[in-house]
Structure 1
């Protein structure tokens, strides 16, 4: 599964004769951390890998190299139109990589002034939405979700809580009816999970959001769709739909994943649970710890080399694809030699990216998570894991590692 140690240190295409590590498939689904560790030993802070469809890329494993890539859009652009393998027809439009890597008329796909114009519209819209009661919405939907299972005395806090709560709050922010929001949970998961249905589900998301934009033209409201329609930046319909899609997929998947991991840590480390209940520990401190050790996106797509350069001792060629190992970077022994040690108050993690494209909605996601944990602990006395901690399992795709389930019991 790994590249041979004597393979050429140049463009990842040059490694096709060797057996490259794959960021997809059975091993990657069950032991992504093992792959990252092996690649770091064999290649250093940057390693050649294959993505779905045998598409070559560079995986950035080192923290400092990741920051260099993220903070320098002139060297490492987000504009996929310079992606050489795509330009050369080696990546089909039906590839499951396209929903995550392909160019779109949104701020994530642009740099410079076009990026600033579009990002300002999204930032202004999210700020207005956050001012209309994110915590209030999160409290309402958290109680609604808990009401559905509280009488049973047991639940799966992934499937019954973490998967749906962020989407319900996001539906209010975007302006979607609740039923459509619930229905989109599966589509968002499919886009992040890759596979043959990723493109189909991505098209379905865009279709639903296009209908939302059309409704909001005649029925404006206090939501992000209306804010983008009315913003002075003058976004066209494709730009509006693309940004609603971006917020929906990115915010839901990262928030639901992070919430599940926070609950996992709280329930497997009893000292943290006791600290939260007694008030000696804040939820934000637990969230910070999880963002270091289990970031909601393990691998961030993607950047493209704007010219020939060197990174991590490798020759990177113009048009090469780079994907950022956020989980690997956060555990880089060069910056965390005491991996597993305390990180309280240290917000220098890569979980929300960095540089011009740093996540603009992270405060909303953290507000949802803090509220969700607070409501849960208040509503469910005696909350405890229903299985041994070692029985909890995760399944990874190229981009994320998700907790499969979190069975709990509590007093009724």
Structure 2
């Protein structure tokens, strides 16, 4: 298959820099950790809607920057598969089993690693389990744990809403959904973060997650309950134990890291903009409207792994070869000037952002994550009237990995 696809700028694009060049941009390291948006915009100017990049270990990939090209990749699994078993660099031995990319890009027996009928079978089990979980009181769990987290610092007049609140609340809700003990959930917060951060510790933390979830699945096999784990074990799709554990891992990492990151960014937006804060307090603005803005401007996953070309083709003027890895620039796509020429224009009411991905693999748990965030913000503003930033907005910093940019802290103060 040789198909010419125009790039997002409407030109023939072109990729003058090959992956083997010393000039290829790395999506890891000091610059990527501090200015990922600057990298995306520089790559867009140099290459158009698709750019050659290097991931950890100098593993080559194509970063999709254009909104339309992102949608093309996400909507067409026959051309761009999620199945890492066709990843050419892995097959050729250029990606070791010990690579920190494996937890994010390696094949597993879960629904995001497969397409077609295997995907539909496994995705059906996940959808049914999450729908049942949503009907069993997610908002009640979120309210309980939001108050519990706030109780720990409400009497001090100060808090860091990242470390003390956003980092833990989604995981605590997930413990109820999955059937984990609360203490196990708190232990898993760091491990989930490390898997996305990459580096030398990513594999060890991934193994820790699998070990804890494997024990949970074995426990629920003998002692079923009203939880997502039991729902997977008993589903008519007949998942084996490895498939169950793989999906527990998938939901845990994806739901926790994206929801905690999005919650932190929503709180940042509210506390650095007096009009939004007063609008929420007065009821003239809804939390969901602020969430929508943040999903356009700062999606919780800036870059999403990954797709693999099923044949030679051209994308954005770049010669993508069969087995090549593509990573999806969700943050860059949302800021594509072709679809959003003025980033300052309001996006309220426009839900066509890429924050939840798109196509057959679109996030199945987005309604649960949004419910947790809405409750978290409402409870916080109710419990801590007068809450305000303890530093100037310009002092807030973020640290990025290949996949996400996380707020380092959100120090606040409030009357006691």
Q: Give the TM-score band, short-chain normalised.
A: over 0.9
1:186 and 2:190 correspond = yes
Which residue, out of 2, 5, 19, partners 2:23?
Answer: 19
CA distance in 2, matches of 1:217, 1:339: 50
SS of alignment partner, residue 152 of structure 1: coil
CA distance in 2, matches of 1:155, 1:208: 30
1:99 and 2:122 correspond = no
1:1-400 alignment runs, 5 A limit: 9=15, 14-400=18-404
CA distance in 2, matches of 1:112, 1:162: 36
SS of alignment partner, residue 17 of structure 1: coil
Q: In structure 2, what is the equivalent of residue 5 of structure 1? A: none
Please state how far the C-alpha of 1:9 moved relative to its aligned partner. Answer: 3.3
Please state how far the C-alpha of 1:339 moved relative to its aligned partner. Answer: 1.0
SS of alignment partner, residue 225 of structure 2: coil
Please state how far the C-alpha of 1:195 moved relative to its aligned partner. Answer: 0.2
Please state how far the C-alpha of 1:53 moved relative to its aligned partner. Answer: 0.2
Residues 52-97 of structure 1 deviation map (CA, whole Å, 9 limit, x = unaligned): 0000000000000000000000000000000000000000011000
CA distance in 1, matches of 2:19, 2:155: 57
Residues 187-233 of structure 1 deviation map (CA, whole Å, 9 limit, x = unaligned): 00000000001011001100100000000011111100000000000
Could you list the runs of 5+ residues in structure 1 that have no partner in the other structure? Answer: 1-7
Residues 98-134 of structure 1 deviation map (CA, whole Å, 9 limit, x = unaligned): 0000000000000000000000000000000110000
Q: In structure 2, what is the equivalent of residue 4 of structure 1? A: none
Q: In structure 2, what is the equivalent of residue 402 of structure 1? A: 406
Q: Count the aligned residue pairs.
A: 404
CA distance in 2, matches of 1:219, 1:149: 36
Please state how far the C-alpha of 1:17 moved relative to its aligned partner. Answer: 2.7
CA distance in 2, matches of 1:24, 1:315: 23
CA distance in 2, matches of 1:19, 1:199: 29
SS of alignment partner, residue 248 of structure 2: helix
SS of alignment partner, residue 151 of structure 1: coil
Question: Over aligned residues, Cα RMSD in angstroms?
Answer: 1.1
CA distance in 1, matches of 2:393, 2:301: 22
Please state how far the C-alpha of 1:401 moved relative to its aligned partner. Answer: 0.1
SS of alignment partner, residue 347 of structure 1: coil
Please state how far the C-alpha of 1:15 moved relative to its aligned partner. Answer: 2.6
Tell me if the contact between 2:15 and 2:51 (Cα under 8 Å) persists in the aligned partners.
no
Could you list the runs of 5+ residues in structure 2 that have no partner in the other structure? Answer: 1-13
CA distance in 1, matches of 2:15, 2:346: 36
CA distance in 2, matches of 1:30, 1:15: 23
CA distance in 2, matches of 1:17, 1:115: 37
